[in-house]
């Protein structure tokens, strides 16, 4: 077998796709330009009332109203959590728990007020912190660095406070440390990423909060609590733990107000909300609807609060706090001041004039930013900028005229108030339209890179299809078709690198790799086209297609049309947001349709029935083959698995009537102890049943007979892994109920058992890599010839006899022949398990990976994994039976319907393991399976979360070679077929040895080409789906749902492609490693 050329060819194809993905991403997911400008007190933005006089000490642009402020951020404080409804008799766990805020607002309406605090998506914590400090809008791609934060370089509120000599003290979420390094006068950071930890951050803040407030050594105090957010992730909002956490926050606020001085402003804010499952990151109403509470012991408002709380965008907090504390508004702010906080103590007209001055400063700052931004970027439409400039100029002109009329007046005439309010409305209109223009425009695209990436991916798909067809026609084409493209690409990469070096321009590795990929593709197609005439002459010696009958041509076309039609339908659905939203139901439907069409086609071709005689043929009657009934039973089992998998789906926010599956929640969330115990026993029983099924299969084919380390691990290591997983589930589901010293023991066990599973799984995979053979060899004194028998002991069933009886005949025949010719016999070897040696290694690897991936999911999702393995087993048998009934003689070629159905099953179980292509649906808990404290690096949690998210992609990609191997494992002896009765001697000579997977070694070149063809077909289907997502994202980039539906789908599909392609290479590498071990085994056998 040619191992390295096959792996290199597949790796090269994967590189082509990766280059296309990277190039498209660089053009589609661009961040907006961040200006380096910074505001200062000397900027000419003072309002006219203050032109002729100096400002009070410690103030910039406007007189400050408060010398101190406390900002309490309660992460994920949804508006419903803060609102109090006295009419509720039986409130939910998250309702009516912050009663202290309600009492303050009702007893002191001029001192306190509650707002709806509207967050801009994406509603991830880092993006919200950026919005709360810069007053600008983070773009979509920033969500990808939510747990790999980078320091904010843009002008921000903390930078302004530091420049003006103010002391900022922070305590809480350590995300702020990465965003604002060395920006705090004093700081107390606590690890934030462990969403299972509800108390470490909050208790750490409470330890320092009150002493810090009493010390007075601060001007802005920020306290970022995380318990509510982590409780939502772990339990959801409708859980008793949420009631406890909100009650703790209520008591904290009560004590904090007692420690505040009269000159201090208190702001209590949520950075975002949460869904009914406790997640966030998207733009659903419950995710963007946070709460803001403002309070001061001195009067703040000149009017009573409205009946319904006002909605305030989060970016409005930045200019408001900046001017209240007397510092400049950050340069890039696009927020609007909350003018009611600047009313003062005078009459209505004086209050309006004061608010107008604030709006004037705010509008001049936004206008300055838009002018500067439009000079360095072209993504803001010129006509809209012109309209905004006209709005601003007219409002400023009227403001100047109005001030000229009242200049020198001791008191503001009451009749001027309507004009003041009208002018305030014009400034409001300008600020809100400016924000809307920026919101709509800050999705900057690079069309050339997008088209280039799309073209690279499309060319890679075409290359996969052409190469897969070449692999079927030639066993060794890949060696010649790989050398030239690699050389072309390498030469171009070197030349471009040298050019960048000599011209002293920055080396863009992404562009360099993309150019190299494109040139290598051209090299492949050039070489292929140059060889085309030779292939045409070879094909001309065969019967032309025109000599084939129309029925045969139609059947040949239908063989490809059915699976390709299903694939094209799935790709076309990527352009509809409704289909993407409903893909959890579309993928299983397409899978069931494809397999049903396959069975229907076999019936239409007459492959399922056998005419019984002239009379039945005349009447049109026929009987079904025995294999046909088996195939129909397999189809029914597949449809049942597809139906049952629908019980494990996560809901998207676009389907409000959907309710998430109860199986997604961990057992710890169940309040009914009896139900928890029953589910636990069921999960453990199914896990043990899966191990029993795997061991039974291996024993059935003779792969558990030897005493090799891998076989011993399967015998004893598998049950031990199951025991560790069962113990982990037990302690994790009861961790909240344990007390005292038992609690400490449980905390140790929650970490120890997962690490035991990690260790045992690693040992198993290492043994599989070092010694993948599961064959038992036994010396005998029989006739010459190697005997392959997959059984141990006495045959116990009819199936055993079907395999063993031909072996006996063969041995008897060869024994008699040797005695006649040589008169002697010599030692031979009986090899148990050799006929399934490749499949056995893959089955062991998949079982180990299944253990690991089940550990990273909640307990009850083990039921979904059981369905996954069962459905994969059924698909393999359907594939084998369908090929047998169709009379397919191309045993070294996997048909398209098998590859497409295999990938549809992978997509189906992506959804059936509780995932969706949205950021709120990511299972962040997986990052802390086996880890009690925070991670020191982002790599390990990213791997764990990625493995959890793409579990089905991993399993189906690693198991892809089984599509080639399974028909050989299930090979039926030809003696079963009905034949005319012959003489015993002739019958003895026609009995074939049942070689199973050893038939692959009879043609090593065909085996290599078959693996390459299978890998290319798999990459072609994956790449076609990816191409559809890329085209949908590019064409619909201005669609209303692009950032909500199409961009997340593209990102998840791209990551899924990367994971699947890497795992496909690993699966094929494992088969080649086994083949290498088999070759070594045969070599040692010949030396005996």
What confidence tens digit (pLDDT) does each residue in 277-320 have? 787 776 778 888 999 999 999 888 888 888 889 999 999 999 99
Percent of the chain topping pLDDT 90: 37
Give 446-464 pLDDT, tens digit per residue.
Answer: 788 889 999 999 999 999 9
pLDDT on residue 411: 56
pLDDT on residue 136: 85
Q: How far apart are CA 1053 and CA 700, in angstroms?
A: 39
Give 580-596 pLDDT, tens digit per residue.
Answer: 988 999 999 999 999 99
Torsion over CA of 732, 737, 741 and 745, rounded to 10 degrees? -10
Query: Which residue's structure tokens are 């789908």?
Result: 1049
pLDDT on residue 320: 93
Tokens of residue 97, six digits: 């728990």
How many residues in the chain?
1088
Range from 439-453, 831-845, 853-867, 1043-1057 carrying the lowest mean pLDDT: 439-453
pLDDT on residue 117: 92
Question: In this structure, are residues 810 and 991 in contact, taking their beta carbons and an 8 Å threshold?
Answer: yes
Class of residue 406 by CB neighbours under 10 A (exposed 0-12, middle 13-18, buried 19+): middle
Helices (H), 407-508: 417-441, 447-473, 477-502
Q: Which residues contact 455 (CB under 8 A, 6 or more apart)?
A: 20, 518
CA 45 to chain CA centroid, Å, is 47
Question: In this structure, are residues 913 and 952 in contact, taking their beta carbons and an 8 Å threshold?
Answer: yes
874 has pLDDT over 50: yes
Range from 34-48, 102-116, 816-830 carrying the lowest mean pLDDT: 816-830
pLDDT on residue 787: 44
pLDDT on residue 475: 52
Class of residue 1084 by CB neighbours under 10 A (exposed 0-12, middle 13-18, buried 19+): exposed
Question: In this structure, are residues 828 and 919 in contact, taking their beta carbons and an 8 Å threshold?
Answer: no
833 has pLDDT over 90: no
Mean pLDDT, the chain, whole residue set:
81
pLDDT class for 815, splitting at 50, 70, 90? low
Torsion over CA of 329, 331, 336 and 339, rounded to 10 degrees? 20
b/e map of 164-174 (b: 16 or more CB within 10 Å)? bebbbbbbbbb
Q: Measuring CA to CA, which residue among 778, 761, 758, 780 is closest to residue 769?
A: 761
Q: For the residues 945-955, what does the mean pLDDT come to?
A: 94
Tokens of residue 813, six digits: 């025949």
pLDDT on residue 790: 45
Q: Measuring CA to CA, which residue among 836, 795, 776 is closest to residue 971?
A: 836
Give the residue, 855 or 284, on which the prediction is more confident: 855
Range from 13-17, 302-306, 463-467, 835-839 carrying the lowest mean pLDDT: 302-306
Question: In this structure, are residues 731 and 1037 in contact, taking their beta carbons and an 8 Å threshold?
Answer: no
pLDDT on residue 141: 53
Q: At what angle do helices 1047-1086 and 951-958 cross, to 10 degrees?
A: 30
707 has pLDDT over 90: no
Q: For the residues 3-32, what does the mean pLDDT come to?
A: 86
Q: How far apart are CA 269 and CA 255, in angstroms?
A: 17
Q: Measuring CA to CA, which residue among 831, 696, 856, 858 is closest to residue 774?
A: 831
Give the residue, 136 or 736, on which the prediction is more confident: 136
SS3 251: helix
Question: H/E element holding 170?
Answer: strand 168-173
Q: How far apart are CA 808 and CA 537, in angstroms?
A: 47
Q: How far apart are CA 959 and CA 645, in angstroms?
A: 20
User: How many C-beta atoms lie closer than 10 Å to residue 755's C-beta?
Assistant: 14
Range from 217-231, 566-580, 818-832, 862-876 carrying the lowest mean pLDDT: 818-832
pLDDT class for 799, splitting at 50, 70, 90? very low
pLDDT on residue 555: 60
Q: Measuring CA to CA, which residue among 54, 47, 63 is closest to residue 400?
A: 47
pLDDT on residue 671: 78
Give the residue, 140 or 923, on which the prediction is more confident: 923
Output the CA torsion sign for 93, 98, 100, 101: negative
Question: In this structure, are residues 573 and 590 in contact, taking their beta carbons and an 8 Å threshold?
Answer: no
Give the residue, 451 or 342, on which the prediction is more confident: 451
Range from 47-56, 592-601, 657-666 carrying the lowest mean pLDDT: 47-56
pLDDT class for 472, splitting at 50, 70, 90? low
User: How many C-beta atoms lie closer than 10 Å to residue 603's C-beta?
Assistant: 16
pLDDT on residue 507: 65
pLDDT class for 188, splitting at 50, 70, 90? very high
pLDDT on residue 63: 84
pLDDT on residue 588: 93
Give 899-942 pLDDT, tens digit per residue.
Answer: 999 999 999 999 999 999 988 888 888 888 888 766 667 788 88
Q: How far apart are CA 1058 and CA 279, in angstroms?
A: 26
Q: Measuring CA to CA, which residue among 971, 982, 973, 978 is closest to residue 808?
A: 973
827 has pLDDT over 50: no
Query: Omega into 122 within 30° of 0, i.e. cis?
Result: yes
Q: For the residues 840-850, what does the mean pLDDT come to?
A: 95
Q: For the residues 1074-1085, what does the mean pLDDT come to?
A: 84
Residue 788: strand pairing partners: 831
pLDDT on residue 693: 94
pLDDT on residue 906: 95
pLDDT class for 536, splitting at 50, 70, 90? very low
Q: How far apart are CA 685 and CA 267, in angstroms?
A: 52
Range from 39-53, 423-437, 628-642, 832-846 carrying the lowest mean pLDDT: 39-53
Tokens of residue 695, six digits: 């061991």
Q: Interior CA angle at 325 toward 323 and 331, to 5°?
A: 45
Q: For the residues 805-833, what does the mean pLDDT come to?
A: 53
SS3 482: helix
CA 382 to chain CA centroid, Å, is 38
Q: How far apart are CA 862 and CA 850, in angstroms?
A: 9
pLDDT on residue 373: 86
Q: 308-322, 349-363, 537-551: which has the highest mean pLDDT?
A: 308-322
Q: How far apart are CA 286 and CA 382, in angstroms?
A: 35
Give the pairing type, strands 264-269 and 68-74: parallel
For the chain, the distance separating the N- and C-terminal CA atoms, rounded to the nearest angstrom, is 24
pLDDT on residue 1015: 94
Give the pairing type, strands 311-313 and 112-118: parallel
Q: For the residues 714-734, what does the mean pLDDT come to?
A: 91
CA 678 to chain CA centroid, Å, is 31
Range from 15-24, 95-104, 729-738, 858-867 carrying the lowest mean pLDDT: 729-738
Q: For the residues 659-684, what does the mean pLDDT come to?
A: 85
pLDDT on residue 409: 57
pLDDT on residue 784: 41
Range from 26-40, 456-470, 564-578, 980-994 carrying the lowest mean pLDDT: 980-994
pLDDT on residue 213: 93
Question: In this structure, are residues 193 and 147 in contact, taking their beta carbons and an 8 Å threshold?
Answer: yes
484 has pLDDT over 50: yes
Tokens of residue 703, six digits: 């792969």
Q: What is the pTM of this model?
A: 0.74
Q: How far apart are CA 485 and CA 470, in angstroms?
A: 16
pLDDT on residue 1081: 82
User: How many C-beta atoms lie closer than 10 Å to residue 976's C-beta?
Assistant: 9
489 has pLDDT over 70: yes
SS3 68: strand
């Amino acid at each position: 077998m040619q191992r390295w050329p096959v792996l290199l060819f597949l790796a090269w194809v994967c590189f082509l796709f990766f280059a296309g993905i990277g190039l498209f991403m660089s053009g589609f997911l661009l961040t907006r330009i961040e200006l380096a400008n910074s505001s200062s007190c000397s900027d000419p933005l003072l309002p006219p009332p203050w032109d002729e006089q100096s400002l009070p000490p410690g103030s910039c642009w406007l007189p400050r109203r408060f010398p101190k402020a406390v900002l309490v951020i309660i992460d994920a404080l949804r508006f419903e959590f803060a609102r109090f409804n006295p009419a509720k008799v039986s409130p939910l766990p998250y309702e009516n728990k912050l009663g202290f805020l309600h009492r303050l607002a009702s007893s002191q309406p001029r001192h306190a007020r509650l707002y709806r605090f509207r967050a801009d998506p994406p509603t991830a914590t880092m993006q919200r912190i950026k919005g709360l400090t810069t007053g600008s809008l983070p773009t979509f791609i920033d969500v990808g660095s939510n747990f790999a934060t980078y320091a904010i370089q843009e002008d921000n509120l903390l930078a302004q406070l530091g420049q003006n000599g103010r002391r900022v003290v922070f305590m809480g979420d350590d995300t702020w440390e990465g965003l604002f390094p060395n920006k705090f006068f004093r700081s107390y950071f606590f690890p934030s990423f462990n969403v299972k930890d509800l108390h470490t951050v909050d208790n750490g803040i409470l330890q320092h909060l009150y002493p810090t407030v009493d010390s007075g050594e601060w001007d802005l105090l920020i306290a970022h609590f995380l318990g509510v957010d982590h409780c939502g992730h772990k339990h959801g909002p409708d859980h008793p733990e949420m009631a406890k956490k909100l009650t703790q926050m209520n008591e904290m606020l009560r004590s904090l107000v007692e420690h505040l001085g009269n000159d201090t402003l208190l702001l209590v804010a949520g950075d975002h909300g949460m869904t009914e499952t406790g997640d966030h990151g998207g733009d659903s109403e419950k995710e963007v609807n946070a709460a803001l509470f403002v309070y001061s012991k001195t009067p703040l408002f000149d009017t009573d609060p409205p009946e319904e709380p006002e909605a305030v965008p989060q970016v409005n907090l930045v200019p408001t706090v900046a001017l209240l504390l007397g510092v400049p508004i950050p340069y890039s702010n696009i927020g609007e001041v909350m003018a009611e906080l600047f009313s003062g103590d005078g009459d209505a007209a004086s209050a309006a004039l004061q608010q107008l001055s604030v709006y004037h400063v705010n509008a001049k700052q936004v206008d300055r930013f838009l002018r500067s931004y439009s000079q360095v970027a072209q993504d803001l439409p010129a006509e809209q900028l012109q309209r905004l400039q006209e709005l601003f100029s007219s409002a400023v002109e009227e403001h100047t005229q109005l001030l000229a009329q009242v200049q020198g007046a001791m008191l503001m005439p009451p009749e001027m108030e309507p004009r003041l309010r009208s002018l305030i409305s014009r400034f409001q209109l300008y600020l809100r339209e400016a924000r809307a223009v920026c919101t709509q425009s800050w999705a900057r695209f690079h069309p050339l890179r997008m088209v280039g990436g799309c073209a690279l991916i499309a060319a890679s798909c075409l290359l996969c299809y052409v190469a897969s067809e070449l692999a079927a026609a030639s066993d060794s084409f890949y060696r010649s078709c790989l050398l030239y493209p690699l050389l072309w690409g390498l030469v171009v990469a070197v030349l471009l690198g040298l050019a960048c070096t000599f011209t002293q321009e920055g080396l863009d590795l992404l562009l360099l790799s993309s150019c190299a990929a494109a040139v290598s593709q051209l090299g492949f197609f050039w070489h292929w086209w140059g060889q085309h005439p030779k292939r045409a002459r070879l094909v001309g010696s065969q019967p032309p297609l025109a000599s084939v009958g129309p029925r045969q041509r139609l059947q040949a076309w239908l063989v490809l049309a059915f699976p390709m039609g299903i694939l094209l339908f799935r790709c076309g659905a990527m352009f509809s947001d409704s289909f993407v939203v409903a893909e959890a139901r579309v993928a299983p439907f397409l899978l069931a349709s494809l397999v049903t069409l396959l069975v229907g086609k076999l019936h239409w071709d007459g492959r399922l029935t056998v005419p019984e005689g002239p009379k039945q043929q005349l009447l049109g009657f026929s009987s079904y083959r025995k294999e046909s009934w088996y195939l129909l039973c397999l189809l029914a089992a597949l449809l049942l698995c597809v139906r049952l998998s629908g019980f494990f789906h996560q809901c998207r926010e676009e389907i409000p009537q959907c309710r998430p599956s109860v199986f997604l929640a961990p057992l710890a969330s169940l309040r009914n102890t009896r139900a928890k115990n029953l589910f636990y026993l069921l999960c453990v029983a199914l896990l043990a049943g899966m191990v029993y099924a795997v061991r039974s299969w291996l024993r059935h084919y003779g792969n558990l007979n030897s005493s090799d380390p891998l076989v011993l691990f399967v015998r004893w290591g598998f049950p031990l892994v199951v025991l560790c997983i069962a113990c982990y589930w037990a302690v994790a589901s009861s961790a909240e109920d344990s007390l005292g010293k038992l609690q400490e023991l449980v905390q140790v066990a929650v970490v120890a058992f997962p690490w035991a599973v990690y260790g045992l799984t690693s040992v198993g995979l290492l043994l599989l890599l070092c010694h993948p053979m599961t064959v038992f060899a036994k010396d005998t004194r029989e006739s010459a010839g190697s005997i392959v028998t997959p059984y141990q002991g006495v045959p116990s069933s009819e199936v055993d006899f079907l395999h063993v009886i031909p072996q006996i005949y063969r041995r008897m025949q060869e024994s008699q022949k040797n005695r006649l010719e040589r008169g002697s016999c010599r030692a031979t070897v009986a090899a148990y398990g050799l006929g399934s040696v490749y499949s056995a290694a893959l089955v062991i690897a998949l079982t180990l990976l299944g253990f690991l991936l089940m550990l990273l999911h909640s307990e009850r999702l083990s039921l979904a994994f059981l369905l996954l393995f069962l459905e994969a087993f059924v698909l393999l048998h359907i594939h084998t039976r369908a090929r047998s009934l169709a009379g397919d003689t191309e045993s070294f070629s996997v048909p398209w319907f098998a590859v497409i159905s295999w990938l549809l099953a992978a997509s189906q179980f992506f959804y059936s393991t509780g995932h969706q292509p949205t950021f709120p649906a990511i299972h962040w808990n997986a990052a802390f399976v086996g880890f009690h404290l925070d991670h020191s690096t982002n790599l390990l949690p990213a791997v764990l979360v990625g493995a959890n998210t793409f579990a089905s992609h991993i399993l189906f990609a690693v198991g892809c070679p089984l599509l080639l191997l399974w028909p050989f494992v299930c090979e039926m002896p030809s003696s079963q077929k009905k034949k005319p009765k012959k003489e015993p001697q002739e019958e003895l000579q026609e009995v074939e040895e049942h070689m199973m997977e050893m038939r692959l070694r009879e043609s090593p070149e065909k085996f290599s080409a078959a693996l390459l063809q299978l890998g290319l077909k798999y990459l072609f289907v994956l790449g076609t789906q990816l191409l559809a997502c890329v085209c949908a994202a590019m064409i619909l980039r201005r669609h209303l749902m692009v950032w909500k539906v199409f961009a997340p789908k593209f990102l998840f599909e791209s990551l899924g492609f990367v994971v699947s392609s890497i795992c496909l290479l690993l699966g094929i590498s494992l088969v080649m490693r086994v083949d290498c071990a088999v070759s070594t085994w045969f070599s040692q056998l010949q030396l005996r």
